[in-house]
Amino acid sequence: MTTTTASGPDVNIADLPEEYQELQNVVREFANEVVDPVSYKHDKEHSFPYEVQTQMGDMGLYGLPFPEEYGGMGGDYLSLGIALEELARVDQSVAMTLEAGVGLGMMPIFNFGTEEQKQKYLPGLASGKELAGFGLTEAGAGSDAGATKTTAVEDGGDFVINGTKQFITNSGTDITSLVTVTAVTGQRENGKKEISAIIVPNGTPGFDVLPAYDKVGWNASDTHPLSFRDVRVPQENLLGERGRGYANFLSILAEGRVAIAAVATGAAQGCVDESVKYAKERVSMGKAIAEYQAISFKIARMEARAHTARLAWRAAAAKMIKGQDFRKEAYIAKLVASEAAMDNARDATQIHGGYGFMNEYRVARHYRDSKILEIGEGTTEVQLMLIARELGI
C-alpha cells in the first residue's frame, strides 16, 4: 500500500498518541459547533451542506492521509478514521461525504495513478474545493464484476464509454470535478471480461448526472445514477494498469471498509451519547429513566458495542499503516461496527420513545441512516463470506 509506513502506532489501547488526540478534539468541536446545528436542516431539505464542506476543506480533512506534495497533511488512515468517527457521531451524511471523497475519489488516483495524474487531480481534491466519485456499481453489477456492462472502446487514441452506473456518491455536486468508472475494455484469453478504470472529468460531452435518489437516509449526502453515451476521453485517462480496474478497486475497498467502520462506530457512539443525556433528563413515575435498570442496562450494552467497534477499526488501521495484511481485520471491523450502529440506533430510538421517531432528534436520523452501513461497501453477508474465506472455509 502506498499509504503505509514502516511502522505505526499501537492503537489497540484506550488512549491515542497526543497528535491523534488533538485531531480528535478539533474535529469533535467542529462537529458539535458547525455540523450539528445545520444537520437537521440539510436532512429535511435533502440539501448538500456546502458551508460545512468548505470548512472541512479549510481544516485539511480531505488531505489527512496524503503527502504534502499533493496538497495533503502528511497523516495516515488512522487520522482519517478519527475524523470520520467524530463527524458521524452527529451527522452520517457529512462523514460519508468525506469518506467517499477520500476513500473512493482520491485513493484510487493516489494508489494507482501516474505522477502526472496525481499532480493534476489530487491538490484540488485535497483542498476540499473539488470532489470526486467512483463509478463501480450497476443495476446488475456490484460485487459481481463479471456482470459489468459499461464498455470503453478504443478509437483513435481515445476511449469511447457507454453504459450506466448507480448509487454513486459525490457525483452530482456543484464542485464534483471527476468520476472514475470501471468499464469493459476487452476480453481476456480465458474468456472473462477485461475491466479497467478510467477517469471521466465532469462536463465531458455525453456524461450525464441523472436526478438524485429519494433515499431513506443519508439525505445530505449526494448520490446519483450516471449515464455515459459515447463519452470520449483520451487514453491517458486510464487509471492504473489496463485490465486491473476491478482488482485495484478491491484493494481500495479493503481500505474503505476500515473507514466506513469508523463512520459506523461514530454513529454507534452518537446513539450512546444521546441516550445517556436523554435518560438523565427524562422523568417517568417520579424519577429519571436512567435510574431504571432496564434503561441503564440497555445503554450499557450500547456502550459495549461502540467500544468493541472502535477497537476493531483501530486494529485494522494499525495493521494497514504498518504495511501488514489487514484484510481480515477490515472485514471484521466493517461487520462489527455496522451492526453496532444499527443495533444502537434501534435501542436509542426505543429509549427516546415517541421523540425517537421525530426526525429533528439525532437518534431518529441515525435510525434511518445506519441501515445502509450494513449494505454499502460490502454487505454483512459479504463480510461473513470473506471472514470465512480468510479462515480457510
Question: Sign of the CA dihedral 268, 269, 270, 274?
Answer: positive
β-strands 223-234, 287-288 pairing: unpaired
Q: What is the distance between the alpha carbons of residues 369 and 386, in angstroms, rounded to a whole number?
A: 25
Question: Sign of the CA dihedral 188, 190, 191, 193?
Answer: negative
| Cβ neighbours of 192 (radius 10 Å) | 11
Q: Angle 76-79-80 (CA atoms, 0-180°, nearest 5)?
A: 90
Contact status, residue 342 vs residue 370, Cβ threshold 8 Å:
yes
Beta bridge partners of 223: 169
β-strands 193-201, 176-187 pairing: antiparallel
- Report how many helices (DSSP H) and strands (DSSP E) the chain contains, helices first: 12, 10
Catalytic positions are 377
Contact status, residue 129 vs residue 201, Cβ threshold 8 Å:
no
* Phi, psi values for residue 169, rounded to 5°: -75, 145
